[in-house]
Structures are given as C-alpha cells and as structure tokens.
Amino acid sequence: MPLLRPQRPADLPILVGGDSPFDEFGPRGPKAVPAPPDLDSDGGLTVVTAAGEVAGDVSWRWQQWGPNAGSRCPMIGIWLHPAHRGVGLGTQAQAELASLFFQHTTTHRIEAATDVENVAEQRALERAGFRRDGTLREAQWRDGAYHSCHLYSRLRTDRTAV
Ligand SMILES: CC(C)(COP(=O)(O)OP(=O)(O)OC[C@H]1O[C@@H](n2cnc3c(N)ncnc32)[C@H](O)[C@@H]1OP(=O)(O)O)[C@@H](O)C(=O)NCCC(=O)NCCS
C-alpha cells in the first residue's frame, strides 16, 4: 500500500499542524477543503501508516527560477502528527513524494527548506536523497523572530541510496 494518498475530508481535522517549534505561525483554523493531489499545480497528499492510519501530510508549491517551464520546481513540505514522528515516516514520505514527481512529471529539481535547528527534518531529507544547497539567511518570520533555513534539493540525476 502506498504511503501517500489523496486527502479526504475526514483527514482534515487531524492535519492541523502548529504543534512544533518549527511550525509556530500563529492561530490557524482547520483546512476547509482537501488539498488538490495534482502534481502539476500546488497541492498536497495525506501520509498514512501501513495500518492505514492518517499520520500527517505532505504539500508542494511550485517555484520559478526563470521565465520558462524548465525553470519551475516544486518546493515540498511535511508535517507529521507527534504520535507518528521518529519512526521513519518523514524519510519515507518525502522519498515517495520525490519519486511521484520524477515518475509522473518532467521535474528535474525538487526543493525543500527547513530551519537550521530542525535536525529531524534535515536528517529525513538527507535520508530521502536530498542534498544541502546552502543557507537562506533569516528568510522566515516565525514566532516573533527571523529564522535562517537550509535549502535542500534533489535532482532527477542524483544518485541516491533510498
Ligand atoms: C521533521 C519530520 C517530518 C521528520 O520526520 P520523522 O518521521 O519524525 O523522521 P524520521 O523518523 O524519518 O527520522 C529521520 C532522522 O531524523 C532523526 N530524528 C528524528 N527525530 C529527531 C529529533 N527530534 N531530533 C533529532 N533528530 C531526530 C532520526 O533519528 C533520523 O536520523 P538518522 O537517519 O540519523 O537515524 C517530523 O518529525 C515532523 O513532522 N516534525 C514536525 C513538523 C516539521 O518540523 N516539519 C518540517 C518543517 S520544514
């Protein structure tokens, strides 16, 4: 059974986020509608465990590094419910999302950014085949301060052990 599947309305009350120090962006209501699963536009998928339990979500937003189609790339994100952290789901879900992009779109580069102190996400990305490109200085305003992030990418041509 795949780890990622399209979001269902019943998933939304679980996909609340906002409980980790790296996700402190102020009060947020539950999502009103499931994110679209289409890879070619901004969207998201639900992360499920092998037992079919809703564990979190992955999402992506398309970035544009130049005016042409070949300069687009998805920037991915992930949130897992605290009960499902630290058992490898973050690694697997981001590896599976990368595989979906490479298999079903012509994407060459996938990006992710995470706080310089978010060691769990840095490790999960590296285990999912992403490499660190550099540091985005104080790029994120969160919880009353600017925070620096590491930018990661995985290229279609990168060799990976995942
Ligand atoms: C970040 C997150 C996606 C990582 O997923 P995960 O399933 O918990 O991580 P994994 O179990 O795949 O572990 C990946 C690595 O991180 C390490 N790790 C896990 N939790 C950790 C922690 N709290 N501190 C340090 N390292 C940690 C694991 O040991 C593993 O390292 P290893 O490869 O050296 O063994 C998940 O913890 C999460 O959703 N956190 C809250 C939201 C968040 O931070 N999202 C990312 C925002 S950019």
3-155 in CATH: which number?
A: 3.40.630.30
Q: pLDDT for 17-33, tens place per residue?
A: 888 999 999 988 888 99
Nearest protein Cα to ligand 1, atom 43: 79
Whole-number Å distance, alpha carbon 29 to ligand 1 midpoint, is 25
Longest Cα separation, the chain? 43
Our answer on whether the CB atom of 34 is closer than 6 Å to any ligand 1 atom is no
Q: Helix 89-104 and helix 119-127: axis angle, to 10°?
A: 50
Confidence of residue 161 (pLDDT cuts 50, 70, 90): low
Global pTM reads 0.95
CB-based contact 63:75 (threshold 8 Å): yes
Q: pLDDT for 119-140, tens place per residue?
A: 999 999 999 999 999 999 999 9
Question: Best mutation site among 121, 140, 142 for ligand 1, i.e. most ligand atoms within 8 A of its Cβ?
Answer: 121
